Amino acid sequence: MNEDKEVKVSTTDPDSGYMVREGKPEGFFYLDHRTVDVKYNLITDVFVTAGNVHDSVPYLSRLDRQRERFGFEVEAVALDSGYLTNPICKGLQDRKIFGVIAHRRFHPTQGLFHKWEFKYDAEQDVYVCPQKQVLPYRTTDRHGYRHYASDPKVCAVCPMLEKCTRSRNHRKVVTRHVWEDSKEQVRMNRLSKSGKRLYRKRKETIERSFADAKQLHGFRYCRLRGLRNVTEQALMTAAVQNMKKIAFHLDRKAKEA
């Protein structure tokens, strides 16, 4: 039986969403999902959602909108760890876009082997545990995760059982998403020389853009309630920031002429 998830709704601004994130203030907020270009740091897209909408949800649709509306030939993107999801990694690969996404920190169960200690054999489509035992493929769930399970009879007499699994039936299960190859490619991109160089640009571009909006343009707080009003504020703020960027660039170009 599925239990309905409780969703908090603001009595003063129902369009907002209750956000709970590590290292962030907790409460009702809106999120500005912003995109900038790497050359001039111009804001190319603004999309406001309630604070409880994950960053990754609107990303691919907003990316496609920019490509279709403005004819952008996007070659590469740099994103923070919130975008490290299988659909986004697969979507970037399908669009032939070089994706660089920050590493997401996981908190594995203390005292147990980490998942990376189980090696995947792509040729045989099996996982191999630290004790060199094979975990063959068993099934795929409705979320797209393939399950690889050990033989409980072998695990029951394994000297490393306590470090491997705490399941009552002594069976270790390792999951792998059907699009895991795409995510692994993104990880390789991040570790490449060009990937590291591209990701460093985030501090000079998108992070700087948000910082300027908050510090110089009053974008730290919403001036009005409601999604439509907040979107208007976000668009006006972005327009002002872009006009300043364009004016600065044209002035510098004129001086160099």
pLDDT, residue 160, reads 92
Judge if 190 and 164 occupy the same domain.
no
Judge if 202 and 170 occupy the same domain.
no
pTM here is 0.86
Residue 116 has pLDDT above 50, yes or no: yes
Residue 1 has pLDDT above 50, yes or no: no
Question: At 121, is the secondary structure helix, strand, or coil?
Answer: strand
Which CATH number do you get for residue 188?
Answer: 3.30.420
Distance CA 87, CA 85 (A): 6
Distance CA 82, CA 101 (A): 8
pLDDT, residue 209, reads 96
Q: Which residue has the higher pLDDT, 47 or 112?
A: 47
Report the range of poorest mean pLDDT among 2-6, 12-16, 102-106: 2-6
pLDDT, residue 106, reads 72
Judge if 58 and 127 occupy the same domain.
no
- Decide if 10 is inside a domain: no
Q: Which residue has the higher pLDDT, 189 or 103?
A: 189
Judge if 23 and 92 occupy the same domain.
yes
Final residue in a domain of this structure, among 154, 179, 204: 179
Judge if 80 and 175 occupy the same domain.
no
- Decide if 12 is inside a domain: no
| DSSP designation for 159 | T
Between helix 59-70 and helix 86-94 the angle, nearest 10°, is: 20
pLDDT, residue 7, reads 82
Judge if 85 and 208 occupy the same domain.
yes
Band of residue 257 on the pLDDT scale cut at 50, 70, 90: confident
Tokens (6 digits) for 57: 């949800």
Judge if 166 and 132 occupy the same domain.
yes
* pLDDT tens digits along 30-39: 999 999 999 9
The count of domains in the chain is 2
* pLDDT tens digits along 138-189: 999 999 999 999 999 999 999 999 999 999 999 999 999 999 999 999 999 9
Residue 2 has pLDDT above 70, yes or no: no
- Decide if 11 is inside a domain: no
Query: What does the pLDDT average to over 53-64?
Result: 95
User: Whole domain around residue 56: which residue ranges?
Assistant: 17-105+182-256
Judge if 201 and 245 occupy the same domain.
yes
